[in-house]
Structure 1
């Protein structure tokens, strides 16, 4: 489909006369693909015709669309390890390059982890690395195949393209399979077909500089041509366009060679509009090379900004202090794994911006160009990282890949104004992939990578997280501080951070927070503190992530409730407001993601530290950050997903409201509980908390918040249960919703007296027989067939297909229950 529209576009150009205005004709190859989740005996199996005696379905291919990931569902399958091996893709393309002697390219935005590309039976390229972009010139192979008998007879004038991806385990490859995330397989970012004339750029580099006062900006522009480019013209044009779309400079350049990186000119812009999170002003640089067969034009978005990590002090942007308010991101989404569409990525990034994020660390690999473009346009500063993560240091093959991936990341994302930090590694003190662990060799290679990063880009800083024996090598260092989760309590955060801040010249705090099981709430969230040692540091140590053994810690002994994690976030955020020396921090992580390292979590194989679930459903903690980091008026009563609270009759309970408004009034069952003023240092909820007495049974809670002239309201209903429960004795299963072809079923846990056990965290296993399809393997609280109960209940959906099905629920020690749909 994409090729048809590309041909139509080119035909329209020809009909209206003149050569194409753009040499780079580009189309996404999303449809028309077949996929095989196994290896083949050889490339012939991908292209041989069934009419030559091969039985149909050997092997059996399935139709898919790109982007596509091998591990869309099995990454969070509770009963098995995710697939690591080879997978094949194939399609047939009608290739019609409109340029005389032009080039036909396949542009991969990312495919994991090792990839081979074939035209018919000819392997035209191989690539190692799952996260950088790369281009394959298939021109010669296509021309050669057109001369064969198979071109006309078997493939009817189309070009067979086959692609083998492989994410098999390999110790001499980065990232380490000991990493706390899945190393996915597949063509999980967009794949593009590109037609270019003989003269075409591989990259355009725009080095931007601006003084602190913003009086003058400088642009130093250079280009690198594709390997097969030729000098067919000695003239080109450069345009500089301001954020409003006005051409502010235009000049010609002379071209005499296509070898190496070619400087085209130095330009100045007086009083440029400065790029910042509040005003992400983007200029456009257009570079055109003309030739008889067409005009090649490449467009780059750039921004003017000046930043500084003050020695032993805060972060400065454009001469003013900016507290970096950050999070982290993995490319991972329920139902598709790494194969996130542009729409999904945009939705996720907009949710970050709406929460008040102005900084992001992209962990732990180069991410999609779509992400970086959105960071530029939304105003989100970036730490981007090469995938040297855990395991130690391998041999020359290992180091060669690391060198190349660092180089590719910097060169491919060089022009993005959002990027301020190049990450060289993560947790490189974590050994295990090799029989020896040599700190000095790791230091030597870290120094080599640090020098490489500065040589490739002198305008940005280097950084690593959690490798103390390398902290003196990089420009900015982030130690391990997990106060209130892996070590200590959250009220140790400020002192611990100050101690770490004083150890380095430039400090940043990446990774803090903790897990929360969505829809689980607690009346006593901090109860685990009783047995936890304080004054023993707040770093994560070997074994701390396990759910058994070792010292008492919240990560093992806490209740994993949304209530607790809101308290932890709340405390950290209030403290950060009173730390004038702090550059900033990035909590881990914005959205839950899959990991092979955590099979025993309440949602198996899911790291649950996000403020969103894996399908982008917001947890309560999202609003804690919003209340501290945003200015648009908002108010949110804690407990929208907490239908039943519990306690003694007449017992006083706390109600919290997260809001950035100046004043908030709370109403319980229609009666005012008083007006409170926001004070960020009054924990919890910045002083917006009330101690109230609930009625037994239903209660309505409403707030009216005011900020300036704006009035914001929010309300919820909660049942207050005073009946005490004994241990779990039985389950009751019921359908609670049925819409758009999907039925939602809920199981509840009761004691022998039919009182719901509101603290029950039993393991629940859903099953289904019949015409329907269980909506499982999504890695969410309501999309997993095996999940821990949240407050004595669990839900899942069934696609009914207008048929009959039977849902079953099992839980150890309880009688299995069934429900007919």
Structure 2
């Protein structure tokens, strides 16, 4: 299929999926108003506004959904992120086309406790920030329209929503988790009209044998039927991936309470779904009754998978090495409030990296993510947010049961899903005075049974809780070779040990933090401090930047250079273990966390393959060189503008490529041709030692794959001047940056002679006076008021808004002379 056709198909799937949940559905993105903090009561959200009245509440601001309380404060270096209530309100035009139909508000996710009001009537509440839920507002709307107050609102319906992410020990996830527990309407809200009898959920179970000789599709449904209608006519149509109708059923059905099976359909040689060929079947369901016609459209796929005991993962009867990463729903400038376009951009980057697997950590994620995994071909581990802290009481347990039930019910149709996660790091105590392993085991066993009752076709899994590893189907131990403990060269031997300990093994979470833009000529000079032979698991306190054993996470330089080495080694070793099911690198994108205020970018976990704004780090291209099937080539160090060393000293130049061979040119002269060999570390043998000249150096590579050639080139500056201790900061505008509404401001740390200190890692603080606004609190190396220098440098952006003005931007740091510059625009 041509590329253009693929994108149209992808868009069609997403569009169709938005229409599949009900007869008529529309997102309500605006107009909404938001108030940070609480109200004295619901009346304050709807009472008449009187100019100058002390009873008015003037603090509402206009927002567009999705919206998160913590869009910027989660990464602010000066404050704890907000945890508390917040209110949203809007006026809805209600025009339900169905006689006796239902008017619904469908929430795709809201954090963390949510209450919905129509005028002053409470209509629904929900606890849990990640699963979908629906508020039926039909009766409340009808009552309001008949009330004297309706005239004041001119036929529109006042809807108010209170969200609350206040800390609560009897709610999951724990605030000890290494991610922010966000608040707000951070996923889409939909206004839905449905006939009096409609589909509440429709579940598809598609199964096939390993060879795909035959398939069965079981269709079950639960109905929304407040009027207790008895039955109707059901039509089912099954379309293959080429949109050809392969099965059609029409039958009379009687409506029962709860989930009921509607049909069992047999197919000969169904087209199989796989990461390389994510072929999807479409199912249309129509229910016609005296109340009207209800419709549902969705997708599924046929595939067979198996975790071989102490062996590999099989998909459709063939070995598939699961090559994956992880995802948090978090993004620069918006936190959890990612739009569909943002999510699509992220998932396409993951697919273009060559990944075929993703773990959605540590909670049920947006329906858009799952739909994209289906259509792009990315296998999924999805889990509930029982994460750290221990085990609470019955309220706590009931939320976990409910969220597991909702996750499986809402996402079981997706062929991409193969694993249901029951918990993460449940061996981590702290929320309760008592930490009882037997009680945790008992509840884990209960969840395991519940998951299999709800869905017998998938496997259950957890990560890092050794005393529960025998309960679930697939277990992932803690192996952080080269970061939290040990050296990365111990990775294979530790993995082989762990593979033998459990029947079905998977390695979730490995990697290294890296400060984007920080590089090193010798990133492993600290390595001799790190002990070997003592395990590579993460233990309590290893994530801290002080105390404990010598380790890369504490004693290393947090450079992209070290991360490249670690990733390169892991990927080459993964190719040599035929019994390995697969791994997932932690994490795809940098994300905010309240537990890491001292990181180079404060409050950001910086293990991402890309930055929090989706800008790729160097390791992105290392993954591509091992995983991507289409030809690629990348000279390591595009974000490393200045290298350093002695005059005439040979410097290593690496190329990451999946091509058979590559030829390097430095300043127009060939440095020779190298053959690729994945086991020749580093860079699979594509490395050259070449002297660089002082000043600018032009570097180009030509990679060849048979008759096909691709190229990459960069310019490096080579600094031979040595430096001493940095003493002052120089601030200046980058005149090469061109944007009518934004200016780029750069800072450099120099010594007493004015020489750039390329190993300086001081923390600096930006400030600004005058016109314009600094773009801060983005959780990125170039979007934080406080940030560590990368190779003695940092930058920030000044937003001018397209207006004329003058601003003074300063950078200061401990024991450094403050630098400043005046910007006129």
Q: TM-score, normalised by structure 1?
A: 0.96
> 2:156 corresponds to which residue?
158
Q: Partner of 2:16 in structure 1? A: none
- Which residue of 1 is the match for residue 822 of structure 2? 820
**1:419 aligns to what?**
417
Once the two structures are superposed, what CA deviation does each residue of 1:505-536 show, in whole Å capped at 9, x if it has no partner? 00000000010000000000111211000000
8 Å CA contact 2:421, 2:461 repeated in 1: yes
Deviations 1:257-297 (A, max 9, x none): 23121111110111110000000000011111002443111
- Say if 2:591 is the partner of 1:593: yes
CA contact (8 A) 1:229 1:258 kept: no
SS in 2 for 1:716: strand
Shift in Å, 1:57: 5.9
> 1:208, 1:306 → 2: CA distance?
9
1:473 to 454, 468, 471: 471
Alignment-derived partner of residue 788 in structure 2: 788
Matches within 5 A, 1:663-702: 663-702=661-700
Note the aligned Cα RMSD (angstroms): 1.3
Judge conservation of contact 2:644–2:718 (CA < 8 Å) in 1: yes
Unaligned runs of 5+ in 2: 1-18
Does residue 749 (structure 1) correspond to residue 752 (structure 2)? The answer is no
Give secondary structure in 2 for the equivalent of 1:494: helix
Kindly indicate whether residue 145 of structure 2 is the aligned counterpart of residue 149 of structure 1. Answer: no
Partners of 1:21 and 1:296 within 8 A in 2? no
CA contact (8 A) 2:546 2:554 kept: yes
5+ residue gaps, structure 1: 1-19
Secondary structure (helix, strand or coil) at the match of 1:255 reads strand
Structure 2 CA distance for aligned equivalents of residues 764 and 733 of structure 1? 12
Aligned equivalent of 2:109: 110
- Aligned positions of 1:273-422 closer than 5 A: 273-422=271-420
Greater mean alpha carbon deviation, residues 312-321 or residues 762-771: 762-771
- Do the aligned residues in 1 keep the contact of 2:196 with 2:227 (CA within 8 Å)? yes
Task: Say if 2:273 and 2:301, in contact at 8 Å, map to a contact too.
Answer: yes
* 2-structure distance, mates of 1:77, 1:701: 39
Q: Distance in 2 between matches of 1:666 and 1:260?
A: 66
When structure 1 is superposed on structure 2, of 130-139 and 696-705 the one drifting more is 696-705
User: Whole-Å Cα distance in 2 between the matches of residues 473 and 439 of structure 1?
Assistant: 13
Using the alignment, how far apart are the partners of 1:201 and 1:53 within structure 2?
49
Q: Which residue of 2 aligns with 1:82?
A: 81
SS at match of 2:197: coil
Q: Residues 103 and 52 (structure 1 numbering): CA distance in 2 closer, same or farther, change over 3 Å?
A: farther
Q: Which string of whole-angstrom CA distances, capped at 9 and with x for unpartnered residues, describes residues 89-140 of structure 1?
A: 0000110111000000000000000000000000000100000000010000
State the partner residue of 1:29.
28
Work out whether residues 23 and 295 of structure 1, in 8 Å CA contact, stay in contact via their aligned partners in 2: no
| C-alpha separation in 2, matches of 1:176 and 1:680 | 42
Q: Does the 8 A contact of 2:287 with 2:293 survive in 1?
A: yes
Contact 2:22 2:199 in 1 (8 A): no
SS of 1:739 mapped into structure 2: coil
Cα displacement string for residues 397-446 of structure 1 (whole angstroms, at most 9, x for unaligned residues): 00000000000000000110000000000000000000010000000000
Q: Partners of 1:573 and 1:702 in 2: how far apart?
A: 25
8 Å CA contact 2:732, 2:820 repeated in 1: no
**Which residue is 1:262 aligned to?**
260
Q: Choose the corresponding residue for 1:180, options 174, 178, 189.
A: 178
The change in CA–CA distance for 1:714 and 1:558 in structure 2 (over 3 A counts) is same
Distance 2:290 2:80 in 1: 56
Deviation by residue 1:192-230 (Cα, 9 ceiling, x = unmatched): 000001110111111111011111000111110025254
Query: Counterparts of 1:393 and 1:554 in 2: how far apart (Å)?
Result: 32
Could you say what secondary structure the match of 2:709 adopts?
Answer: strand
Q: Distance in 2 between matches of 1:653 and 1:742?
A: 36
Q: Is the 8 A contact 1:21 1:294 kept in 2?
A: no
Question: What is the aligned partner in structure 2 of residue 776 from structure 1?
Answer: 776
Residue 17 of structure 1 corresponds to none
CA–CA distance in structure 2, aligned partners of residues 229 and 82 of structure 1: 46
| C-alpha separation in 2, matches of 1:794 and 1:553 | 26
* Equivalent position of 2:764 in the other structure: 764
Say whether the 8 Å CA contact 1:222–1:263 is kept in structure 2. yes
Paired position in structure 1 for 2:9 = none
Aligned partner of residue 473 in structure 1, secondary structure: coil
Q: For residues 426 and 656 of structure 1, what CA distance do their matches in structure 2 show? A: 37
Q: Quickly say closer, same or farther: Cα 1:57–1:791, change in 2 above 3 A.
A: farther
1:594-743 correspondence runs (5 A): 594-736=592-734, 737-743=737-743
**SS across alignment from 1:641:** coil
Question: Do 1:109 and 1:189's aligned partners in 2 also have CA atoms closer than 8 Å?
Answer: yes
The superposition leaves residues 639-696 of structure 1 with CA deviations (integer Å, 9 ceiling, x where unpaired) of: 1111111111222210010000101000011100000010000000000011111111
Displacement after TM superposition at 1:817 (Å): 1.8
Deviation at 1:21, TM superposition (A): 12
**What CA deviation, in whole Å up to 9, does each residue of 1:712-741 have, x standing for no partner?**
100111111111100001111100034221
Which whole-Å CA distance do the structure 1 matches of 2:707 and 2:176 have between them? 53
CA distance in 1, matches of 2:811, 2:539: 38
> Is the 2:196–2:225 contact (alpha carbons within 8 Å) kept by the matching residues of 1?
no
Contact 1:105-1:139 within 8 A present in 2 as well: yes
SS in 2 for 1:719: strand
> Superposition pairs for residues 515-530 of structure 1, below 5 Å?
515-530=513-528
Mapped partners of 1:21, 1:333: distance in 2: 28
Q: What is the CA–CA distance in structure 1 between the aligned matches of 2:427 and 2:404, rounded to whole Å?
A: 19
TM-score, length basis structure 2? 0.96
Are residues 1:253 and 2:251 paired?
A: yes
Per-residue Cα deviation, 1:594-619 (whole angstroms, up to 9, x for no partner): 00000000000000000100000011
Inter-partner Cα distance in structure 2 for 1:468 and 1:380: 28
Give 2:807's match in structure 1, choosing from 801, 805, 808: 805
Q: Which residue of 2 aligns with 1:503?
A: 501
Alpha-carbon contact 2:654-2:688 (below 8 Å) kept = yes
Shift, 1:333, TM fit: 0.4
> What are the superposed Cα offsets for residues 26-62 of structure 1, whole Å, 9 maximum, x if unpaired?
1100010000011111001000011397348624100
Partners of 1:614 and 1:61 lie apart in 2 by 29
**C-alpha separation between the residues in 2 aligned to 1:651 and 1:353?**
39
SS of aligned partner of 1:407: helix
Q: Which residue of 2 aligns with 1:15?
A: none
Give the Cα–Cα distance (whole angstroms) in 2 for the partners of residues 56 and 259 of structure 1: 48
SS of equivalent residue, structure 1 residue 527: coil
- Call closer, same or farther: CA 1:275–1:400 in 2, change over 3 Å: same
1:526-571, CA deviations, whole angstroms, 9 ceiling, x for partnerless residues? Answer: 1121100000000000110000111100000000000100000000
Which residue matches 2:459?
A: 461
Query: Could you say what secondary structure the match of 1:249 adopts?
Result: strand
Match of 2:11 in 1: none
CA distance in 2, matches of 1:327, 1:227: 42
Secondary structure of 2:424's counterpart equals: strand
| 1:80, distance to aligned residue in structure 2 (A) | 0.5
Distance 1:559 1:793 in 2: 15
